[in-house]
Chain A
């Protein structure tokens, strides 16, 4: 299980998550940030600092945001 960045990050991109990630698994995209699920160690440091509340545990991603699980995975491939 990894963390997932959802649509609330689009256009916001505060990047506080990139700063705190202890394994550098968060990539900066054009409009939002993305988490590489292969590297994420599930520590939750990014979730606590996200001012947009855009980061969820994979199993807690709201139904309407579940597409972002795939989007994060594909962007960071």
Chain B
């Protein structure tokens, strides 16, 4: 299945072979991959919502399920797309500084793939009950570390035709 093939390559990043294999992943598969990944990484939050929401007297059960299984995943996907788009803009600046020729669409995909490990670590930290701003900062730094390593895989731009 495409999801596991992409995940396997993301785990091998930032090696040249895995970056090039990820280049060949279509945009449709990239979007599907990031949706699944974000839903998986939000499992601790969903459990938290179900457990704490169920025991709250003020929440109707049907509203709770609607919130947990419809609105929350949609919210996560929306936030994810916005975050990746903004991080890709930062990656665009990085690639300009590093003199690489990479398009925004290409950088969007690289950013989505480099978010794999930080997203999974985020889920683990949340599951263990560690939630603070420093963990978020650490994960963003990790994402940029992967992103820079991936951009470095490509050679410096050559204008020779």
Known: A21-B101, A24-B159. A48 touches B24 (CB 8 A): yes
Are B161 and A41 interface neighbours, CB within 8 A? no
Asked if A10 lies at the interface with its beta carbon under 8 angstroms from chain B, I say no
Asked if A2 lies at the interface with its beta carbon under 8 angstroms from chain B, I say no
Asked if B121 lies at the interface with its beta carbon under 8 angstroms from chain A, I say no
Interface of B (DSSP majority class): loop
Interface residues in B, total, Cβ within 8 A: 21
Instruction: Give the one of A19, A21, A27, A48 with max B CB within 10 A.
Output: A48
Are B24 and A22 interface neighbours, CB within 8 A? no
Q: How many A-B residue contacts, CB cutoff 8 Å?
A: 44
Asked if B23 lies at the interface with its beta carbon under 8 angstroms from chain A, I say yes
CB distance from B19 to the nearest CB of A (A): 8
Asked if B141 lies at the interface with its beta carbon under 8 angstroms from chain A, I say no
Q: How far is the CA of A76 from the CA of B101 in the complex (A)?
A: 20
Are A48 and B155 interface neighbours, CB within 8 A? no
Question: Could you list which residues of chain B lie within 8 angstroms of chain A, going by C-beta atoms?
Answer: 19-21, 23-27, 100-103, 105-106, 154-155, 157-161
Question: Could you list which residues of chain A lie within 8 angstroms of chain B, going by C-beta atoms?
Answer: 19-24, 27, 39, 41-45, 47-49
17 contacts between A and B (CB under 8 A): A22-B100, A22-B101, A22-B106, A22-B157, A23-B155, A24-B161, A27-B161, A41-B154, A41-B155, A42-B20, A43-B19, A43-B154, A44-B20, A44-B23, A47-B24, A48-B25, A49-B105
